[in-house]
Structures are given as C-alpha cells and as structure tokens.
Amino acid sequence: MLQRQDYKFMNKTPPAFNGDPIRYKDWKMSFQTLIGRKNIPVNEKIYYLRKYVTGPAKKAIESYFLLGTDKAYESAWEILEERYGNPFVVAKAFREKLNSWPKIGPKDSVELREFSDFLRGCQSAMSLVKSLEVLNDCSENQKMLSKLPDWLTARWNRKVIELEEATRAFPSFSKFVEFVAREAKIACNPMTSLHALKSGDGEKVKPYKVRSVGAKVLASGSEEKPDTKVQKGNAKVCMFCEKSNHGIQTF
C-alpha cells in the first residue's frame, strides 16, 4: 500500500518556471516538495531542475547542469533565489504587471473578475513582501482606479467619502481589494447579472414567423399587379388624344 502511494506521489510533477518572479515562490515550493526533498541522487535532482526551468531562468543556471555535484545544485538554487526570489524583485514584478493592466470596459465583467483576482494576489504577497505596502498610498490607488470602468470609479469615490468620514483616513489597499472583489462578484452573478442575461439571450432560438391570412392576401394582390399592367399595356389607344382611359368605338 505504501509503495503504491509513493508511486502516485512520484508521478506528480511540478509546473515549469519561466522566470516570472510572481510565480517563483509557488514553483519553488512545488519543486522542493515533489523532487528536492526526495532521497534521490543529486544527478537526478539536477536533471529535474533542468527539465522544469525554462526561458531566461534556465539560461541563468545552465552552466551548472554539466557539473552534476551537490555544490552545483546548491549554486543553481542560489542564483534563482537571488534573481527571482528577492523581495524587491517580486514587488517590482507585481507593480509592473499592475501598471500595465489594460483598462476594463464598462461591460467587461469577466475582465473585472480577473483584475480582482490579481489584486487579491497582491494583497496576499504583501504579508511577505513589505515593499508592496506602497499600494496603500492614495497616489497608487489613483493608478489602479484608471484600470476600472468609469461607473465603478464613481462608486468607489462614494465609498472613499464614507470611509474617510468614519475613520478620518484614506482607505487601505485591503479595503479597495474587498470593494473590487464584491463588485466583480455582483457583475459575474451567474443568474441575475447583465453578463448572465446577455449570455442567455444569445442561446435563445428565434421563433418561426407565420404569415397571417391578410399578409397572404396582400402578397397575392401584389403579385397580380404586373398582370394588370400587362393588360393595360394591351389596351387600344385613341387615335385622336393618344390616351387609353376611355372606350373607342370602331367602325
């Protein structure tokens, strides 16, 4: 039974790390849990490290792959930790991604939820990366507001006034995250949100239109008009007035 559990555990693999500092801590924990802490030769650990590191991160440590020693394995991790695990590097990556976030449209509820998820990630990282506490500043809040739809910016402004009157201080970043998360939840409600209603309208089948009897009569009447014109075209023309609106008596 234990051997079967160990086999299933060893079949699990960590995700590949491509050099994104935001994902470094999570990737490192996965790698150490699934591979690094296992009682396997260092050559195998280096093999797996090379396998699950890509992009610029792999280029930074590829010179250690040929050595195959404990020292080379430790040195490779030191490079990764210095380059991608540094708190200032992580904070910079979060802020750069936040600043480059595209403006959310007035009806883009899914994009609003994605922005809310990223804000929650920033809030979670703030407990470990103290440099992110700068997001509590009102100037940083203005930058984040520029990503929101205008209607949501106006709603946050009302919330700010309420909190300032109650606390005599500008709302913290956690309050802003809480506000955006709730608005995103409302906008993405699966039953009553505008997004849900529009999605439901797109799935409705257009009803088949049955033409009424009156419409058929009008249609048949319109179809007979060309025949009438043809009959008028065959009418005799008066030789004196050159008109066909009166009878002609011939001898």
Q: What is the pLDDT of residue 229?
A: 46
**How many Å apart are CA 89 and CA 105, to the nearest integer?**
30
Q: Are the C-beta atoms of 120 and 181 separated by less than 8 Å? A: yes
Q: What is the DSSP string of 164-226?
A: HHHHSSPPPHHHHHHHHHHHHHHHT-TTTSHHHHHHHHHHPPPPPPPPPHHHHHHHHHHHHHH
- The proportion of the chain whose per-residue pLDDT surpasses 90, expressed as a percent, equals 63
**How many Å apart are CA 99 and CA 144, to the nearest integer?**
8
Chain-centre distance of CA 241, in angstroms? 79
Virtual torsion, Cα 66, 68, 69, 70, nearest 10 deg: 110
Query: Where does the pLDDT of residue 36 fall: very low under 50, low under 70, confident under 90, or very high at 90 and above?
Result: confident
Please give the radius of gyration of the chain, using alpha carbons only, rounded to the nearest integer.
Answer: 37
Q: What is the pLDDT of residue 237?
A: 62
Q: What is the pLDDT of residue 243?
A: 64
71-99 tens-digit pLDDT: 999 999 999 999 999 999 999 999 999 99
Residue predicted with more confidence, 187 or 8 = 187
Q: Which of 125, 117, 25 is nearest to 135 (CA)?
A: 125
Provide the CB-side half-sphere exposure for 44 (13 A, CA): 9
